[in-house]
Amino acid sequence: MRYQNINCEPISAPQRFDVEADGLAEALKNALQKTEKNLPKFVHLYPSACSEKSWYRAVPNATTELGSDWTAAFWTGMLWLSYEMSRNELFRAVAEAQFDDYAQRYDAFQLMNHHDMGFLFIPSIVAQYKLTGSRKARKLALKAADVLAGRFSERAGIIQVRDRDIQGAFIIDCSMNVPLLFWAAQQTGRHDYYVKGLRHMVRVAECMLRADGSSYQCFQIDEVTGQPVRGWQGQGYDDASCWARGQAWLIYGLALCYRYTKDLDFLYAAKCASNYFLNRLPSDLVCNWDLIFTQDEEQRDTSAAAIAACGLLELHRQLPAQDAERNLYLNAGRAITVRLAERYTADSAVTDGLLLHGVYCRDKGDGGLGDDECCIWGDYFYMEALVRLSQKDGWNPYW
């Protein structure tokens, strides 16, 4: 086994995740209603990455305003999820109208010089292709995959973050961009897409997943020698801690990587990352912003909790029926979603977001960004978790 040096700690007190889930249908209904209410504000403008005093700013598809250069598609993805669940043609019409914004962004190559092509084009344009069969959507998504593939460093074996970053730098967030390459490989038969995605995820598991099942957010590989240089935490508390959203990206990304590759090593790595995450939750099962904090008094990050819920549900789906922990991951993903719905949502008089108490960047003396606010990716993944749990026969992921 490739990652046998990683300790897969047992999940403590699994009965924590045995919760009543009767309210999830109503939670999904409320999410759809709020999304529909927000439609007039966000047609060719998009919710900012994070809210200000619980209200999103309307920003262009391509902008650095409030750190929104990578987040537009989460709103478009919410429209596609809403269309799937309601068959309300209004959701589809607005989502399809937004295609031009992504096409113009690609043509102008505006804020495209980074690794977040998956975040930008999977919930929006790949989703459009999967749901409607649009040939133009398929073509644009494959162009975006080319951009992502072009960021691959052959010697380092990684997809580099941004042009301005140090050579050989990659971050754990990219685990959710790699599915764009796997999808493109399936669509075209081009093996190079698959190999680049696979090699990147091998590096993620080798370098970012630590021996105890925790993770670094950031890592550097020397592009000349191909040797690991160092890992660090970036948005986490410190280099020895474990940033909750990074761990959530890792759980989901590894589960998706197994779905595409069927490499059992990734399934094992996903379980190690998941168990570490689940063993460090506060009493309400909604993670704090860094997993070094396990008590109830610290700042939650509901956006990380929503991502992790989707990752756990995907992991349950990929595990064989005989796996002893398979249903535990289902219970945990469902329980986290229930607690988000019960305790971290609010009506439209209070916010236009779905989830309160998210964190973009925690204020560590530098002012932070979106600290204790709504985060648009948190809203998207919360809705995705609700959709996953509503579909007994399984939901076809956009990722």
Q: What is the DSSP string of 209-234?
A: B-TTS-B-SEEEE-TTT--EEEEE-T
Model pLDDT for residues 184-240, shown as the tens digit of each residue: 999 999 999 999 999 999 999 999 999 999 999 999 999 999 999 999 999 999 999
In a domain, 380, yes or no: yes
Are 337 and 385 a contacting pair, CB within 8 Å? yes
d(Cα 347, Cα 212) in Å, to the nearest integer? 40
| Residues 298, 288: Cα–Cα separation, whole Å | 6
User: How far is the C-alpha of 63 from the C-alpha of 116, rounded, in Å?
Assistant: 14
DSSP 8-class letter at 372: E
Average pLDDT over every residue of 320-330:
97
Residue with tokens 């091998």: 202
Task: State both tokens at 164.
Answer: 């301005």
Q: Indicate the helix (H) or strand (E) that contains 47.
A: strand 46-47
Of 69, 100, 107, 116, catalytic: 116
How far apart CA 234 and CA 13 sit, in angstroms, is: 31
Residue 399 resides in a domain:
no
Q: Is 116 a catalytic residue?
A: yes
Neighbours of 369 (CB within 10 A): 16
Is residue 6 within 8 Å of residue 273, measured between CB atoms? no
- Total tally of structural domains belonging to the chain: 1
Q: Identify whether 253 is part of a domain.
A: yes
> Are 382 and 344 in contact, with CB atoms under 8 Å apart?
no
Is the pLDDT at 4 greater than 80? The verdict is: no
Query: Is the pLDDT at 394 greater than 90, yes or no?
Result: no
d(CA 26, CA 233): 38
Cα atoms in the 13 Å half-sphere on the side-chain side of 49: 18
- Whether the predicted pLDDT of 28 surpasses 70: yes
Check if 173 is active-site.
yes
In a domain, 7, yes or no: no
Query: Residue 168 pLDDT > 70, yes or no?
Result: yes
3-state secondary structure at position 204: helix
CA atoms 129, 131, 134, 137: torsion sign: negative
Domain span holding position 187: 14-390
**Percent of the chain surpassing pLDDT 90:** 96
pLDDT tier at 392, thresholds 50, 70, 90 = confident
First-last CA distance in the chain: 26
| Domain at 344, CATH number | 1.50.10.10
- List the catalytic residue out of 100, 107, 163, 173: 173
Q: Which residue has the tokens 């989502």?
A: 95
In a domain, 379, yes or no: yes
The answer to whether position 4 is within a domain reads no
pLDDT band for position 34 (50/70/90)?
Answer: very high
Which residue do the tokens 């999977």 mark? 122
Placement of tokens 């469902």 in the chain: 334
* pLDDT at position 388: 98
pLDDT on residue 215: 98
Q: Report the alpha-carbon distance of residue 276 to residue 292 in Å, rounded.
A: 11
Q: Is residue 227 part of a domain?
A: yes
Average model confidence (pLDDT) across the chain = 97
pLDDT of residue 1: 62
312-to-9, 106, 131, 179, 327 alpha-carbon distances in Å: 16, 33, 24, 17, 10
Tell me whether residue 397 is in a domain: no
H or E segment at 370? Answer: strand 369-373
Cβ contact 145:181 at 8 Å: yes
Check pLDDT > 90 for residue 322. Answer: yes
Render pLDDT for 291-308 as a digit per residue (tens, 0 to 9). Answer: 999 999 999 999 999 999
- Give me the percent of the chain exceeding a pLDDT of 70: 100
Question: Is pLDDT of 163 > 90?
Answer: no
pLDDT at 164: 81
Q: How much is the pLDDT for 353?
A: 98
The predicted-structure confidence for 247-306, as pLDDT tens digits, reads as follows 999 999 999 999 999 999 999 999 999 999 999 999 999 999 999 999 999 999 999 999
> Which helix (H) or strand (E) is 275 found in, with range?
helix 264-278
Going by C-beta distance under 8 Å and a sequence separation of 6 or more, which residues neighbour residue 252?
175, 176, 307, 308, 310, 311, 314, 399
Beta-carbon-side half-sphere exposure of residue 192 (alpha carbons within 13 Å): 9
What confidence category does residue 133 fall into, taking pLDDT thresholds of 50, 70 and 90? very high
In this predicted structure, what is the pLDDT of residue 296? 97
Predicted local distance difference test score (pLDDT) of residue 144:
98
Of 356, 351, 353, the residue nearest 339 (C-alpha) = 356
Kindly list the distances between the CA atom of residue 376 and the CA atoms of 89, 213, 236, in Å, as whole numbers in the listed order. 22, 28, 20
